[in-house]
Amino acid sequence: MRTSFKILSSLLAAVVSAVNAEPLLMDNLAYQQCEGEAFLSLIIARNGMHLNNTRQSLLEVKSNGAFQIETINELFDEIDKTGSKEHGQFAAKKFYQCTKREGLPIKENLDGAKVCLARQDVVFYVNDFHRSGDPQPEALAKIKRYVEKSSKAVYPDDLIDLLVPMVYRVTTDEDEYELRRLVFRTCLLPNEWNAWYKPPTQSTAQSSPPSKNELSSIAAQGMVAANALEPKPTMTPRATVPAIVSKGTSLPPDRSGIYVYRDEWMGAFVKMEVLVDDDPLGQTSAKTYLYKEVAPGKHIVVSKAENTESIEVETLPGTITYIWQEVKMGFGSARSKLSVVDSTTGKKGIAETKPVFPAMAQVTTSSPPAQSASRPREAKAAVLGPFRPSKPLHITLDMVRGHTWRYPHPTDFEKNGNTELVFSDTKVQGTNKIGGSMGSFDIRDDAICLALVSWTSFCFYVIEEDGQKMVFFSGRGGKSKLTID
């Protein structure tokens, strides 16, 4: 009985402690509500201010609730009155309207919040490039061209360099939303984010995804510093996340270091896994490097591509060993070769490349294996997005099978040109100006959903405006003129 009483007392004490503990801001449901309202306001403002959607076209979206309708009208009233194009500022005002309404202890910083919300443009546009089939390096160059006339204080290069590969890891709408939250939180509320974020332990990181989304783990190293409002704070890395050794950093006398770098563009889109002494270090791509601090002595470095290449090195106290990961053409994919190079060559190679963050390396074991000729890629299942027109046309298989559908790319016609979809009984072949892809299709709730191997999968409806058929995209709400042969 006494034992049971002690257990009960302990449980009650734990409950009292939990009740009395001050909840973290980002676990507060009211905060999450305000964040969601701000993000939704940002999408509406971007569509109305920059993507040529009218008040009427946005009001006709069938999934609109009371908040959306109120926000759309509020937005266009402001546009009519002021001609404003500040979508970030509009969303920031909505955010603070909510925090005041909910009584949240957040000091208003409109100028900061509008910048932090505007930075979600990087996620939005890069994800659109990804869906269009742009290779990652092209998407990086394109987004930098898009924002080159804007202030670097709003769109810093360090942030863009970090975000683009993260966007290319996104496979679901939930992951994209988590990434948008990450951008906003680490920008506007870095101290609160650091208090909320719990990095995975070494054992957890290699056996299962972090409890608060894999993308948050990727950002644990570097995001707060890259995403900071001016002036940028100094970030002290958490002890559980390995820090990146800066180029040229000296080592303690009882430690040694190993760099593995790729300084070529050949096989740019093939990621190659690197292991040191059987421990995964990360995955390289073109113009990147990995670093690991080790104990002096013999170590085995392995590179996995179409082939598996290994090399044994003996590191010396206080010194760095440089390993060049050379890329060669294979039978069906890229191959690699590892070579130790002298410090002059190695330093030059490191200077021409960028780091792969250790936090990204922690999650590579849960990522899909690198593609090869013996394991063909599989298309991701398409997810029906949140936007639905008020009067979609009813789509039948007879409208699709044996027909060719064409429409201009809705956001970047100059780069992608027309999209052409050729349908058979169960398959679809998609082509545009920069390439093609094969996959399958299905019809859901009057929407066509495409699962394509080398394009991001997507869904769209068909609507009719002034006697002209249009495709209406469920993920973005944009539309484009459609012809069917």
> Each residue of 376-388: pLDDT tens digit?
344 456 666 667 7
φ, ψ for residue 320 (rounded to 5)? -115, 135
CA dihedral 225, 226, 227, 233 (to 10 degrees): 30
Q: Looking at residues 335-360, what average pLDDT do you find?
A: 77
What is the Cα–Cα distance from 357 to 162, expressed in whole angstroms? 9
> What is the reported pLDDT for 423?
84
Average pLDDT, the chain: 74
Select, from the ranges 196-200, 266-270, 299-303, the one with the highest average predicted confidence (pLDDT).
299-303
The predicted pLDDT at position 95 comes to: 93
Helices marked H in 66-171: 66-82, 87-102, 110-118, 120-131, 136-146, 157-167
Residue 407, C-beta contacts closer than 8 angstroms, at least 6 positions apart: 418, 419, 471, 480, 481, 482, 483
Closest CA to 218 of 179, 171, 160, 259: 179
As a whole number of Å, the CA-based R_g of the chain is: 25
Structure-token pair, residue 349: 């190679």
pLDDT surpassing 60 at residue 462:
yes
Say yes or no to pLDDT of 368 above 50.
no
Given this model, what pLDDT does residue 117 score? 92
On the CB side of 154, CA atoms within 13 Å amount to 20
Residue 312 has pLDDT above 80, yes or no: yes
More confident residue, 155 or 372: 155
- DSSP 3-state assignment of 298? strand
- Contact criterion met (CB below 8 Å) for 276 and 343: no
Q: For 302-324, what is the mean pLDDT? A: 88
Question: What backbone phi and psi angles, to 5 degrees, belong to 196?
Answer: -80, -40
Whole-number pLDDT of residue 359: 32
Q: What 8-state DSSP symbol labels residue 250? A: -
Q: Is the peptide bond before 137 cis (omega within 30 degrees of 0)?
A: no
Contact 134, 458 (CB under 8 A): no
Segment among 65-79, 133-147, 277-291, 378-392 with least mean pLDDT: 378-392
Mean pLDDT of 29-43: 87
Two tokens, residue 76: 């266009």
Q: Where in the chain is the domain with CATH 2.40.128.640?
A: 397-484
More confident of the two residues 24 and 75: 75
Of residues 241 and 149, the one with the higher pLDDT is 149
232 pLDDT more than 70: no
pLDDT over 70 percentage in the chain: 72
Mean predicted confidence (pLDDT) in 249-259: 76
CATH classification code of 397-484: 2.40.128.640
The structure's pTM equals 0.45
Q: Which of 222-226, 253-257, 351-355 has the lowest mean pLDDT?
A: 222-226
DSSP H helix total and E strand total for the chain: 18, 18
Percent share of the chain, pLDDT over 90:
13
Q: Is the pLDDT assigned to residue 10 strictly greater than 50?
A: no
Judged against a pLDDT cut of 50, whether residue 159 lies above it is answered with yes
256-356 is classed CATH 3.40.50.2000: no
CA 339 remoteness from chain centre: 33
In one-letter notation, the amino acid at residue 18 is A
pLDDT of 269: 53
Lowest mean pLDDT among 112-121, 272-281, 371-380, 465-474: 371-380
Report pLDDT digits (tens) over 39-64. 889 989 888 888 778 888 888 876 67
Between the CA atoms of 165, 171, 173 and 175, what dihedral angle is there, to the nearest 10 degrees? -60
* C-beta of residue 279 within 8 angstroms of C-beta of residue 262: no
Question: CA nearest 328: which of 262, 275, 259?
Answer: 262
Ranges of CATH 2.60.40.1120 domains, the chain:
256-356
- pLDDT of 176-228, one tens digit each? 778 888 888 888 888 877 777 655 444 433 333 333 344 444 444 455 566 66
Task: Please indicate whether residue 147 or residue 470 has the higher confidence score (pLDDT).
Answer: 470
* pLDDT higher than threshold 50 for residue 318: yes
3-state secondary structure 323-383: EEEEEEECCCCEEEEEEEECHHHHHHHHHCCEECCHHHHHCHHHCCCCCECCECCCCCCCC
pLDDT, tens only, 426-457: 788 777 776 667 778 888 878 888 887 667 77
Least confident window among 84-93, 214-223, 357-366: 357-366
Give the residue-averaged pLDDT of 381-397: 78
Contacts 24+ apart (CB under 8 A), 459-467: 459/382, 459/383, 459/384, 459/385, 461/388, 461/389, 461/392, 461/393, 461/395, 462/392, 462/393, 462/395, 463/389, 463/391, 463/392, 463/393, 464/391, 464/393
